[in-house]
Amino acid sequence: MCGIVGMIGQDLTVKRLIDALKKLEYRGYDSAGVAFCDRNGLNVRKAAGRISVLENSLGDEIESNILQGIAHTRWATHGGPSDFNAHPHTDCTGKIAVVHNGIVENFDRLREQLEMNGHVFKSATDTEVIAHLVEDHYKGDLVAALRHTLVDLEGAYAIGVIHQDQPDVIVAARKGSPLVVGCTNGSGYMASDVTPLLRYLRDVQFIEDGELACIRSGRVEIFRLDGSAVVKSPTKITWSEDSAEKGGYPHFMIKEIFEEPQTLRNAITGRIRKGLPYFRELEPLKETIEKAGSITVLACGTSFHAGLVFQRFLQDYAEIRVDIDVASEFRYKNLVLKEDDIVVAISQSGETADTLEGIRKARRCGAKIVSLTNVVGSTISRESDAVIYINAGPEIGVAATKTYVAQLSVLLLMGAGLAMIRKPGNGEIFQLVNEIEGMPTVFENVLSSADEQCQRLAREYYQFRHFMYMGRGYSYPTALEGALKLKEISYIHATGYQAGELKHGPIALLDRDFPVFAIIPEDGLKSKTLSNIMETRARDARVVAICSVDDREVSKIVNSRIEVPKVSPPLYPLVMSPFLQLFAYYVAVARGYDPDKPRNLAKSVTVE
Ligand code: M6R
């Protein structure tokens, strides 16, 4: 899970390459490197640490004009983070440089053979075998050399290769890891995703598994492994470059939380007609949906929590059985799916390896795949029967925030749509859809108070070392997501529980140093959660509640509270989201951490 970028053509400098690489830093940031050809040949510079370390080490060289270059920001898999293991990797002649995102699974065997044939390795990475294989296969044609190399590789890759004897070309290839290419009149580009390219172009081509791209100034050619040419039309990207920048906020995470009203607007635009949900993308599957005996949802992390809300909603309103699994478990299960069963895959990035393998397995059983993703052209979107985009724009902070609210709003609408198909005439659906339509305004009105309340709360609680989040019904996924947000960016141990489960074990943990975050909206389960709060107070635990506005019952029995507007029960996970995200954000900042780049995490988990 790394970021790669490559550029060739007019007015190119090392700085341009580094600036483009920074847009991919969310994909991994334990080391970085760049390889470029200038009139004197190939140069490689790399450094352990963030891209800024590499940048500082370059000194004046950063302004040098270059003919072409490739760069890499790393999230280590094989070989720890170090200068040596940072990419690009080179061959024995020092003329070939390679960047790679993915894992070469058979690298041990390949390395052994290469070493027996006299190749000398400089790193402990799997990637270096690619550079040596290209060296062996190079006979003056870099495309052919990479094509022959790929035959030997098992595993996943997005690769960029340059050769000092061919400074007019970058060759790239993909299997299992994302890769996008494009060109303008005098330049050519490749990258792991579109964000570094937005400054230069809007029409891009997504490389598919088993394809190679030959990138020159002003021209990109795509080939299959057998050498035949691929002709594909470009995809137009509508994201603005600004949307990928911080816009005056100290971190992307807070900027992205404050974008949520607009994110919601974008997510639901075009999805409501005459007061009812409208999903054109699902029309070809209408008959299958009508007949479906059950639906299976799969996802990971935050997307899984959105899936739990969807599950509950469908069970409540569409009266259909919904199974849900985290994709890393689902993919290794004996599936009992039947032909034409529906599988809904939720993935912000559309590249999560477990989710991708999950849908591949489900497809082999004959299931129809509906995916919900944010990234146009992502692998999951391309391998689905129907794709629903959440249109949240790029999310740079590693913690999912605005994309979670976009997922929830679209899933609730989709759930309402399915409910109308399966149980037409349910008046409550009109009311819920109407409320969802009003959510962007509710968010606009609530954000500044949420910000204030959460800053205050974070000041009170940032020094605690543990947190228990609890909730029932729709609030259980909220408890899980609140706990995930807190732990992933503030490194406080936090766990989410069904409130009724506490007494079956976890309550033993509670004391004055172990606060409880109670998710207690105005719904049919409130009285039950009130009792659970009393149980935790009796164990001396401090209780923070997130409840609906002016809730006297709750305010009387808790130590601190934050208040959210009153909405219908299924919409509380949505309206509570920015509060829990802001709380986690301010706690992380108070503890001195960078919430955009939590340790050990990367935005898109494209390895198993
Ligand atoms: O791109 P995906 O939605 O498939 O990603 C799934 C998880 O990796 C992701 O939600 C992760 O849990 C985030 N760190 C949550 O903030």
- pLDDT (tens digit, 9 = 90+) per residue, 105-117? 899 999 999 999 9
| More reliable by pLDDT, 284 or 303 | 303
Q: List, in order of start, the domains of the chain with CATH numbers.
A: 3-244 (3.60.20.10), 250-437 (3.40.50.10490), 444-608 (3.40.50.10490)
The predicted model gives 31-36 an average pLDDT of: 96
* pLDDT score recorded for residue 77: 73
Catalytic residues: 2, 603
CB hemisphere CA count around 328 (13 angstroms): 9
* pLDDT score recorded for residue 607: 72
As a whole-number percent, the residues of the chain with pLDDT over 90 amount to 77
CB atoms under 10 Å from CB of 192, counted, come to 29
Helices (DSSP H) in 342-426: which residue ranges? 353-364, 379-382, 402-422
Residues 6+ apart with CB under 8 A from 62: 13, 14, 15, 18, 55
DSSP assignment letter at 246: -
The band of 243, judged by pLDDT with boundaries at 50, 70 and 90, is: low
- Ligand 1 atom at minimal distance to the Cα of residue 300: 6
| More reliable by pLDDT, 276 or 422 | 276
210-238 pLDDT, tens digit per residue, is: 999 999 999 999 999 999 999 988 998 88
The band of 377, judged by pLDDT with boundaries at 50, 70 and 90, is: confident
553, 530 contact by CB (below 8 A): yes
108-155 pLDDT, tens digit per residue, is: 999 999 999 999 999 999 999 999 999 999 999 999 999 999 999 998
- The whole-angstrom separation of Cα 428 and Cα 473 is 18
Look at residue 35 and tell me whether its pLDDT is greater than 90.
yes
Nearest to 581 by CA among 264, 251, 254, 302: 254
329, 440 contact by CB (below 8 A): no
39-89 pLDDT, tens digit per residue, is: 899 999 999 999 999 999 999 999 999 999 999 999 777 777 899 999 999
CA 304 to ligand 1 center in whole angstroms: 8
The band of 427, judged by pLDDT with boundaries at 50, 70 and 90, is: confident
Handedness of CA 490, 534, 316, 334 (dihedral sign): positive
* pLDDT score recorded for residue 200: 94
H or E segment to which residue 386 belongs: strand 386-389
Query: Is residue 164 in contact with ligand 1, taking CB distance under 6 Å?
Result: no
Look at residue 259 and tell me whether its pLDDT is greater than 70.
yes
How far CA 72 is from CA of 81, 86, 191, 271, 298, in Å, comes to 13, 8, 10, 39, 31
- The whole-angstrom separation of Cα 403 and Cα 267 is 9
What is the DSSP track for 327-345? HHHHTTS-----TT-EEEE
Look at residue 471 and tell me whether its pLDDT is greater than 90.
yes
- CB-based burial of residue 286 (10 Å sphere; 0-12 exposed, 13-18 middle, 19+ buried)? exposed
* pLDDT score recorded for residue 488: 96
- Ligand 1 atom at minimal distance to the Cα of residue 598: 14
List, edge to edge, every strand of the sheet that includes 211-216: 89-90, 96-104, 155-163, 170-175, 211-216, 219-224, 229-230
Q: Answer yes or no: pTM beyond 0.85.
A: no
One-letter amino acid of 207: I
One-letter amino acid of 425: G
The band of 1, judged by pLDDT with boundaries at 50, 70 and 90, is: low
* pLDDT score recorded for residue 27: 77
Query: Is residue 381 in contact with ligand 1, taking CB distance under 6 Å?
Result: no
CA 587 to ligand 1 center in whole angstroms: 20
Query: Is residue 399 in contact with ligand 1, taking CB distance under 6 Å?
Result: yes
* pLDDT score recorded for residue 244: 63
* pLDDT score recorded for residue 394: 80
* pLDDT score recorded for residue 449: 92
DSSP assignment letter at 465: S
557-573 pLDDT, tens digit per residue, is: 999 999 999 999 999 99
Query: Is residue 300 in contact with ligand 1, taking CB distance under 6 Å?
Result: yes
* pLDDT score recorded for residue 290: 82
Instruction: Write b or e for each residue in 447-466: b if 16 or more Cβ atoms lie within 10 A of its Cβ, otherwise e.
Output: beebbebbeebbeebbebeb
Query: Is residue 303 in contact with ligand 1, taking CB distance under 6 Å?
Result: yes
Nearest to 413 by CA among 443, 381, 379, 390: 390
Look at residue 245 and tell me whether its pLDDT is greater than 80.
no
Backbone φ, ψ for residue 165 (5° rounding): -80, -10
| More reliable by pLDDT, 103 or 523 | 523
Pairing between β-strand 516-520 and β-strand 466-471 as defined by DSSP bridges: parallel
The predicted model gives 96-109 an average pLDDT of: 92
The band of 348, judged by pLDDT with boundaries at 50, 70 and 90, is: very high
* pLDDT score recorded for residue 237: 86
Query: Is residue 34 in contact with ligand 1, taking CB distance under 6 Å?
Result: no
Report the residue among 348, 378, 489, 490 best suited for mutation to probe ligand 1: largest number of ligand atoms under 8 A from its CB: 348
87, 2 contact by CB (below 8 A): yes
The band of 421, judged by pLDDT with boundaries at 50, 70 and 90, is: confident
The predicted model gives 523-549 an average pLDDT of: 93
DSSP assignment letter at 233: P
Helix (H, G, I), strand (E, B) or coil at 122: coil
Structure token digits, residue 586: 């301010």
Report the residue among 253, 256, 257, 302 best suited for mutation to probe ligand 1: largest number of ligand atoms under 8 A from its CB: 302
